[in-house]
Structure 1
Amino acid sequence: MLEKKGTPMEENQKSDQPEANETQEVTAELPPPEKARLLKRTALWFLAVILAASAMIYQRATGPTYPMKVPVTGNIVAKLIRTHESTGDATVEVPIPAPDAKTATATLYFKRFRTNDEFTPIPMKVETTESRTQLEGDLPKQPAAGKLEYYIEAEIAGQSMRLPENKNENVIIRFKDPVPDGVLIPHITLMILSILLGMRSGLAALFAPYNMRQLAWATLCGMTVGGMILGPMVQKYAFGEYWTGFPLGGDWTDNKMLFMFLAWVFGCSVIGLNPKKKNTTIGRFAVLIATIVMTVCYLIPHSMGGSELDYSQVDKGVDPSKAIETGRK
């Protein structure tokens, strides 16, 4: 039997209608209505800010350069410094109650880190201004990457104390050469933007993929300039070498940067640059993996395993700039 054909008008109407699968595919690529999209986008940006800020604060607060907070007396807490520029002595400050200014005494003990040196005592002086009263003692400046360990024995408010309290614990301070603001500020700014955009890209991969590609590429661009270009410049100014991570050294900060950068290179290579290309499940997964790698890297304390001056080589006559090692815990 011959198949019954429709009229020319019916045939034209059928040809103008897309197949069911084609309709579903087109719909999947379209963003939601403007109002719903705005609400979702606002919520995701808010969540991204929270995640990025939490990761950055955690990394800094757990890093070895963040001041060590130790209780002194009452609600007074001392912030014992753990990083300083090599251009001058590092002043250690211990706040005390104003009424105890005349009776408080303290001694600062220090020695070079990882050496058999004896601890050198330095009497601390009471300094009083309109806004504060504190004990102060100066640690002698060291070459870039040089480290000192120190502790304080004091008598404040009639109580004898050691700071830090644990006798087996000392404060470690590392010295670094100054970094110009013209390099440091753009580096920090771009790294902040990179982690914010990275978190937002991961959330887009999970919940709103229609703008995921732009976010992921923006993350990679920020990380390339801020981390892979300005980062080595900061390292050069501070410690004399552009790169001390793999394969040249064991600097954890450089290695973390390398892992994050490669993860985003992989993610962006999977999703491509074509704005008309569909965000496939594989592409979304690749971007999500890059975000997870970034998050894990930011959970590792900053400046771990960084540049450290080997005093044993310095004592043998080696120039301090040539006696810097990395990867030591």
Structure 2
Amino acid sequence: MKKVLFWVLSLLVTLFFAVFQRMTGPTHPLGGQASVDGVEISYKLLRSCETGEACPVLRSRAMDGLSGRVSWRRYRTSDQWASEAFSCAAGVCGAKIPSQPPAGKVEYYVKLDAPSAPVRLGDEPVVVRFRGPVPGHILLPHIILMFLFMLFSVRVALSAAFGLQPVPHSVPATVSFLVLGGFLFGPLTQYYAFGQAWTGFPFGHDLTDNKALLMLIFWSAALWATLRGRAARFWILAAFAVTAAVYFVPHSLLGSELNYDTGVVVTGK
């Protein structure tokens, strides 16, 4: 019964971290509310789009009949602001930004027309990053393996915390999921999306790559201790503490970014 409870708890913790990572990253749509002619509307401004077609940056189901302008310029450049009018109908708003190369970023803002004065959505310009299409046979294994890594991390840590013997082969499995998900399919995902497989240490300071590297160091120590039978409990708990701390850092911070001056993909700031 205790084993079942531990697995259920592990699943709940893993789902919590998955949702947290999804909701807090800099590529998650920025939501808000605005008042137009006394009517409250909810909206979302996209912060991630796929290359190859214009990016529909504004989403809202309650804006039919409204119109406005979207203004944009390439991020970290001295470009002049470009602007284009749009209208909303049938639940779709025509506010779009031209496609950019992979890892290219554009800052933009949206203003809605109103009788008294235009209503700006948000206080600051929003930054959207473009990514290349990632094949499903690359992206799906990456997601599944990293999910399994976190699931097993929690399960192993619970066993260690309560002084129980780890599930057989659980620590080697945990490390295997991390290696495959974070160091095989992770770089492949990044390569398809941004043209660079690895931009962490020692080639850059990509935070996602460096977080994976930090977790691998601690889980490798936990694996070594488990196989040697030396202070395995300490290293397992230490590895999970590092993993939990890493997962509390929003995904994609300091990620890949195209330098428009040099045409080189670098680590963002």
Give your verdict on TM over 0.5.
yes
- 2:251 corresponds in structure 1 to 302
Q: Does 1:178 align with 2:133?
A: yes
Structure 2: give runs of 5+ residues left out of the alignment.
none
Match of 2:236 in 1: 287
Contact 2:196–2:265, Cα closer than 8 Å, also in 1: no
What is aligned with 2:19? 57
Superposed CA offset, 1:126-152 (max 9, x none): 231xxxx24221100001110000110
Matches within 5 A, 1:158-307: 160-164=118-122, 166=123, 169-207=124-162, 209-212=164-167, 214-272=169-227, 282-307=231-256
Question: Which letter maps to 2:254?
Answer: G
CA distance in 2, matches of 1:217, 1:231: 19
Structure 2 residue 111 is matched with structure 1 residue 153: yes
Deviation string, structure 1 residues 153-182 (Cα, Å, up to 9, x no partner): 103698742111x1xx11110011111111
Give the aligned residue type for 1:60.
R
2:200/2:206 contact within 8 Å kept:
yes
2-structure distance, mates of 1:96, 1:219: 43
1:282-306: CA deviation from partner (whole Å, max 9, x where unpaired): 2111101111111111111111111
Considering fraction of residues, name the structure with more strand.
2
> Which residue in 2 is equivalent to 1:311?
260
How big is the shift at 1:211?
2.6
Q: Is the counterpart of residue 118 in structure 1 residue 67 in structure 2?
A: no
Contact 2:42 2:62 in 1 (8 A): no
State whether structure 2 residue 251 is matched by structure 1 residue 325.
no
Q: Tell me the secondary structure at the aligned position of residue 16 of structure 2.
A: helix
Q: Summarize the Cα distance change of 1:48–1:105 in structure 2 as closer, same or farther, 3 Å threshold.
A: same
Measured on the aligned residues, the alpha-carbon RMSD in Å equals 2.0
SS at match of 2:108: strand
Call closer, same or farther: CA 1:213–1:153 in 2, change over 3 Å: same
> Retained in 1: the 8 A contact 2:25–2:252?
yes
Q: Partners of 1:105 and 1:85 in 2: how far apart?
A: 25
Helix, strand or coil: the match of 1:324? strand
In terms of fraction of residues, the more helix-rich structure is 1
After TM superposition, the structure 1 stretch with the greater mean CA deviation from structure 2, 206-215 or 154-163, is 154-163
**1:179/1:238 contact within 8 Å kept:** yes
- One-letter code of the match for 2:207? W
Q: Give secondary structure in 2 for the equivalent of 1:312.
A: coil
Q: Secondary structure at the match of 1:69?
A: strand
Q: Percent identity?
A: 35
SS in 2 for 1:287: helix
Q: In structure 1, the residue corresponding to 2:52 is in which secondary structure? A: coil
> Normalized against structure 2, the TM-score is what?
0.92
Q: Which residue of 1 aligns with 2:102?
A: 144
Q: Please tell me the residue identity of whatever aligns with 1:155.
A: D
Query: The residue matched to 2:254 in structure 1 has which SS?
Result: coil
